[in-house]
Amino acid sequence: MYKAIPLPYDYSDLEPYIDAETMKIHYNKHYKTYIDNLNNEFNKLNFKIVPIENLIYNIDNYSETIRNNAGGYYNHSLFWKMLENPIKKGGYLPFGICNRIINRDYGNFNLFKNKIIEKAKQRFGSGWVWWILNTDGSTTIVDTPYQDNPQMYYDCEILLGIDVWEHAYYLKYQADRVDYVDNIFNVINWDYPNKILNQYS
Ligand code: MN3
Q: State in Å: Cα 168 to ligand 1 middle.
A: 5
Ligand 1 centre distance from Cα of residue 54 (Å): 21
pLDDT given for residue 31 in this prediction: 98
Q: How far is the CA of 181 from the centre of ligand 1 (A)?
A: 13
Give, to the nearest 10 degrees, the angle between helix 191-200 and helix 96-106: 80
> How far away, in angstroms, is 104 Cα from ligand 1 center?
30
Rounded to the nearest angstrom, the distance between the alpha carbon of 158 and the centre of ligand 1 is 17
Residues of the chain with pLDDT under 50: none
State in words which class domain 19-84 has: mainly alpha
pLDDT at position 92 is: 83
User: Residue 104 and residue 137: Cα distance in Å, rounded?
Assistant: 12
Q: What is the pLDDT of residue 91?
A: 63
pLDDT at 90: 55
Residue 144, beta-bridge partner list: 128
* Domain 87-200 = CATH 3.40.50.1370: no
How far is it, in rounded angstroms, from Cα 130 to Cα 143? 6
Q: What's the pLDDT tens digit per position in 140-193? A: 999 999 999 999 999 999 999 999 999 999 999 999 999 999 999 999 999 999
User: For residue 167, how far is its CA from the centre of ligand 1 (angstroms)?
Assistant: 6
Cα 165 from chain centroid (whole Å):
11
Interstrand relation of 156-163 and 139-145 (parallel, antiparallel or unpaired): unpaired
- Looking at the chain, the domain(s) classified CATH 3.55.40.20 span 87-200
The percentage of the chain sitting over the pLDDT mark of 70, rounded to a whole number, equals 98
Give the per-residue pLDDT at 201. 76
pTM, two decimals, is 0.96
CA 175 to centroid of ligand 1, rounded, Å: 15
CA 133 to chain centre: 14
27: DSSP letter? I
| Ranges of CATH 1.10.287.990 domains, the chain | 19-84
